[in-house]
Structure 1
């Protein structure tokens, strides 16, 4: 096991690069609201209209709109640059959040809530913007890029762990609209700080004849893996809330889920520092498929919410390595002038998977039992592994009969792929 000093040295080298601390600070400020908006909208709408069904439908509409608009916004970013596109897109998103707030506050018809929240779909893929900067800065250093991608995944987990907690505190302590208002302010301030760091911004790429990321070799299987992985996340969240409610501890569901995110965050940071060799996406997905059975076993065998919390902490440790390895493959297989679009497509797959997983987990919790419903995230993880195995999503190709394959990634590079992103 490496020492603390050796574990953190890779991250210190990352942030010794000029401008990286400033753009990371802005990106984290802008990313934190991503974990706030959903909870804030539900509390705000349900408190005003007395309907969780309406609140859920509104947030689902925003999720679907984001999935559709995300790749289009990312394509504009690739073509015109981050600052020129991300700032006006963020302003449009902030206006959508404020419009939702005003519609709720002043009792506007229900349809206006859907229209207003759909406006937030213009929000850029904030994590993707940051990963694109690292890919540009570290294009000649795959090891450092692996560490940077691990940090970004840990930052995702941290923001989605702290965001709901902050939103709940603001809406409960001040007024129902406080979470949405604070989230909009943080998003705009963070994006302005992030895009002000022009020295680290990747140069815009003129429109070329490069094929769509969806037509790049190896991307469709990865998209399928991301969708199945999203189903793990969506179903686990709904099932855990249902299980905690059945145990009479619904208010503890957020803290229990935060432990899953904490496990992923810690594993992501460690994974980035260790730079494991010979690790493929299939290995990570196999680990996730095994660990996602732990919550099911804990709920079924013990019936204890606290044992379940420990199982979720351990199960979460499989998430970050899987996402880091998969996203690195995406970066290396996507045409350089459509990098943001390629990463945004993966986010679209995740969102679609989360929506499907939430629906499946909710159905199982209602019609079977919350304990049995933990089979849904375990099945989704197994599905992701099956897709990767059948499609060779990690880049392996079956060798010809009587021959050995010459298409395997280099054994010393955990995320090696057929080509590297050019400058």
Structure 2
């Protein structure tokens, strides 16, 4: 099914109003959570590119932790492993938008495959350098080469945006599904990487992640019938103009930066909390509960029809809910009960996915179609930068504050900062409107 090809492009079928029928009362008549998802996956080609993209996206939760386990196990230094992965993260933040710009200009199939091949060679080079004891600088150079990995989630969202460019409700459902898929990959990826590296050999996680990435991108790129067409740029909209100069986009990226800080600090603080309470092996389970809550909320949010209010106002409400629910972990940490903290993390995660979904909806509406991949990659870059800053801030708080429980104030503060940025930039600014998708 994944290899099903066709030459002609696919567009979403027109939606015709259903014939009126006499209303009959039934308590569950209007609650059909799977109906919106059946509708978007009824479009030919969507199941094929989604399956291929999920295969390509799973390594995003594998490669980083696999590199840490591989380097630390071989060189005996977590500091070196952390420095190498941080270098790769910084390189990705720099190279990612350029790769996305090339994809927008020349198409997904022409750019994603060679970019992924180069990134795969970087992963294999890292594996060989670690295995054969090459100098430390080769590890940094090899991992930096993986920065050309294309934003697979952004390419999938771009296809949904093209197929449903005239249907905001369907785009909302598709973005919700994509956010839940991200959460699933970040939930399963570390578990699979740890299992491979600890049960087989230290290099197994990196090798499997590189193979899955290359295979998935090849299959995804072969789905030409759903690929968005390359937009011809005009003199009024130069292809060299960065989306950062578009009105309304920088404030969104600021909120994404703060949201990334929530994720980064929450991960470090939770692992430290589990270690301090003698349940180090349960740290991953606590983080999985947060991701599970976010993924479930994302799927439910996608099943609901968006309200008639403006997306900006809906985004404000989502960030407010995220800031409120992120107060639960520091409160639960005062009880000194891991079970209470687990429940708090599950509830806290339920506001992050709706915030991300609504934010992606806004980015798609404020970015021209010819720069959609670049715009969404900038959002991912902001998230990655926030994760790096949040990890550093969470680690500092664990070491310098009174215990790991107190350090949960860092993700709560990051959520409050995200709400502040959204509040300060909520008013619509005058200026040229960006063409809607």
Q: What is the TM-score with the length of structure 1 in the denominator?
A: 0.92
| Superposed counterparts of 1:115-194, under 5 Å | 115-194=141-220
Q: 1:288 aligns with which of 308, 313, 322?
A: 322
- Equivalent residue, structure 2, for 1:319: 352
Q: 2:95 aligns with which of 69, 76, 79?
A: 69
- Equivalent residue, structure 1, for 2:436: 421
- Equivalent residue, structure 2, for 1:299: 333
Paired residue secondary structure (2:405): helix
- Equivalent residue, structure 1, for 2:290: 260
- Equivalent residue, structure 1, for 2:5: none
Q: Deviations over 1:23-57 (max 9, x none)?
A: 00000000000000111111100000000000000
| Contact persistence 1:260–1:312 (CA under 8 A) | yes
Q: Deviations over 1:248-291 (max 9, x none)?
A: 11111111101100000000000000123136111000000000
- Equivalent residue, structure 1, for 2:231: 205
| Superposed counterparts of 1:19-34, under 5 Å | 19-34=45-60
Q: Deviations over 1:280-330 (max 9, x none)?
A: 111000000000011111111x11112111111110001100000011100
Cα offset for 1:130?
0.2
CA distance in 2, matches of 1:336, 1:309: 41
CA distance in 1, matches of 2:29, 2:264: 35
Structure 1 gaps of 5+ residues are 399-406, 408-416
CA distance in 1, matches of 2:180, 2:305: 15
Q: Deviations over 1:41-96 (max 9, x none)?
A: 11100000000000000011111110110000000000000000000000001110
Q: What is the TM-score with the length of structure 2 in the denominator?
A: 0.89
| Contact persistence 1:96–1:120 (CA under 8 A) | yes
CA distance in 2, matches of 1:145, 1:303: 42
- Equivalent residue, structure 2, for 1:58: 84
Paired residue secondary structure (1:6): coil
Stretch deviating more after TM superposition (194-203 or 210-219): 210-219
CA distance in 1, matches of 2:227, 2:414: 37
CA distance in 1, matches of 2:140, 2:428: 46
CA distance in 2, matches of 1:266, 1:234: 20
Counting matched residue pairs gives 401
Paired residue secondary structure (2:33): helix
Is it true that 1:332 corresponds to 2:365 in the alignment? yes
- Equivalent residue, structure 2, for 1:401: none
CA distance in 2, matches of 1:72, 1:397: 29
CA distance in 2, matches of 1:330, 1:258: 28
Cα offset for 1:3?
7.0
| Contact persistence 1:79–1:207 (CA under 8 A) | no
| Contact persistence 1:154–1:269 (CA under 8 A) | yes
CA distance in 1, matches of 2:157, 2:406: 38
Is it true that 1:397 corresponds to 2:428 in the alignment? yes
Structure 2 gaps of 5+ residues are 1-26
Is it true that 1:100 corresponds to 2:126 in the alignment? yes
**Structure 1 runs of 4+ with >2 Å offset:** 1-5, 205-212, 417-422
Paired residue secondary structure (2:133): coil
Q: 2:393 aligns with which of 360, 372, 382?
A: 360
| Contact persistence 2:367–2:435 (CA under 8 A) | no
Paired residue secondary structure (1:7): coil
CA distance in 2, matches of 1:420, 1:143: 18
| Contact persistence 1:136–1:202 (CA under 8 A) | yes
| Contact persistence 2:177–2:298 (CA under 8 A) | yes
Cα offset for 1:206?
3.4
Paired residue secondary structure (2:34): helix
Cα offset for 1:181?
0.6
| Superposed counterparts of 1:378-393, under 5 Å | 378-392=412-426
The structure-2 alpha-carbon separation of the partners of 1:150 and 1:121, relative to structure 1 and needing over 3 Å to count, comes to: same
